[in-house]
Amino acid sequence: MQAELGHLLRDKLKDSCDRNADRAVRRAYRLVLLGAPGVGKGTQAELLMERFGACHLSTGDIFRAARNRPAAELAPGMVTALEFMRRGELVPDDIVVRVVSECTEQLTCPHGFLLDGFPRTVAQAEALKGILARHALRLDAVLDYELPREQILRRISGRRLCSRCGISYHVESRRPKVSGFCDNCGGTVIQRDDDRPEAVLVRLETYACQTAPLISYYRKEGILVTVECGETPEETFARSLVGLRSLAGE
C-alpha cells in the first residue's frame, strides 16, 4: 500500500506545486483547514494554493483516487479504508496517519502546505505534531470554516466533482461551462457517493463528535483562526487572509 499511495500523492502534488502562485505576497504557510463537510474547504484550498503556492494535501482526495483503482490492486488496509469512507465514517486513525506520514517530501515543501481533511481527530492531531516535530516544523495556523447547518446541507446536495482531476462544482453556483464535463480536464462531472443524504448525515454527526474537539485543541495552542463563511468563495477567502494576518500580528 505504501508505494502505491506515494505514487498517487506525487501525481496530485505535481498539480499543486506547478501552479503559478502570486510570489510577491507569498511566505511559507503551514496550514490546516478545518470545518464540517460542505463548508467549501476544497475551494478555499484551491484559492490559498494559488496565493501561496503551497502543496495541497487532501486525505479525502487520496482515498478517492485509490477508489478509482481496481480493487485487486489495493492493499487490504486500503480496501478497509474505502469501506469506512463509503459509509461516511472516518477511516481508522492508523491508516490515515500512515498515509500522511509518507508525505515527508511534501510536508517539508519550502512553499508550505495546506492540510485539507487531516487531522480529523485529536489522535491524528497529536500524530501530526510528532511528524512535523521530526522535521523541526510546526503549524502556523488552523483555519476553521464555520457555516450554519441548513446552508451546509444545501451546498452538499448540489455539490459535484470531476471524476478525473477532483475539482469541485455546484449545480447552482459553479457549473462547468459544458454541462457534465470538467472545465479543467474534460473529465466527467459526478456526485460523490458519500454526498448522498444518508452518508451526509453520518458525516455531519462524525464531524460534530470527532473533529469539532480540534477547535478547542488548536485554540489552546493559540493558532486557531475562525472564519465565518461568506456568500461567495472569494469573500471567504478574503476573510481567511484577514484572519491569517491578524494572527501574525500584521
Report the interface residues with Zn ion, using CB under 5 A.
162, 164-165, 182, 184-185, 187
State the pairing for strand pair 159-162/168-170: antiparallel
Residue 169's SS3 state is strand
- Choose from ligand ADP, Zn ion, none: what does 227 bind? Cβ within 5-8 Å by kind: none
For residues 133 and 201, which CB has a smaller minimum distance to ligand ADP in the complex?
A: 201
Residues in the chain: 250
Q: Which does 187 bind (CB under 5 to 8 A by kind): Zn ion, ligand ADP, none?
A: Zn ion
Q: Which of 64, 155, 159, 160 is catalytic?
A: 159
Which residue, 54 or 195, is less far from ligand ADP as judged by CB? 195
Helix, strand, or coil here: 144?
strand
142 backbone dihedrals φ, ψ, rounded to 5°: -120, 115
Active-site entry in 30, 160, 192, 239: 192
Count other C-beta atoms under 10 Å from residue 78's C-beta. Answer: 22
CB of 185 to ligand ADP, least distance (A): 19
With beta carbons less than 8 A apart as the criterion, state whether 114 and 13 touch. Answer: no
For residues 98 and 175, which CB has a smaller minimum distance to ligand ADP in the complex?
98
Which contacts of 84-89 are long-range, i.e. CB under 8 A and separated by 24 or more positions? 85/194, 86/193, 86/194, 86/199, 87/194, 87/199, 87/202, 88/194, 88/198, 88/199, 88/200, 88/201, 88/202, 88/203, 88/206, 89/202, 89/206
Dist CA 143 CA 35 (whole Å): 8
Question: How remote is the C-alpha of 237 from its chain's centroid?
Answer: 15
CA 213 to chain centre: 18
Residue 192 annotated in active site: yes
The binding site for ligand ADP (CB under 6 A) comprises 37, 59-60, 63, 84-85, 88-91, 96, 117-118, 120, 124, 194, 203
Instruction: State the nearest-atom distance from the C-beta of 61 to Zn ion, in Å.
Output: 12
Catalytic residue among 41, 64, 155, 239: 41
Nearer to ligand ADP, 53 or 60 (CB): 60
Q: Which of 12, 120, 160, 239 is catalytic?
A: 120
Instruction: Kindly state the smallest distance separating residue 59's Cβ from ligand ADP, in Å.
Output: 3
Nearest Cα residue to 240 out of 52, 71, 60, 110 = 52
**Partner from Zn ion, ligand ADP, none binding residue 165, C-beta < 5-8 Å depending on class:** Zn ion
Is 159 an annotated catalytic residue? yes
117 binds, among Zn ion, ligand ADP, none (CB under 5 to 8 A by kind): ligand ADP
The one of ligand ADP, Zn ion, none whose footprint includes residue 63, by CB under 5 to 8 A per kind, is ligand ADP
- Helix (H) or strand (E) holding 101, with range, is helix 93-101
> By beta-carbon distance, which residue lies closest to ligand ADP?
60
Nearer to ligand ADP, 21 or 161 (CB): 161
**Is residue 41 among the annotated active site residues?**
yes
Active site residues per annotation: 41, 120, 159, 192, 203
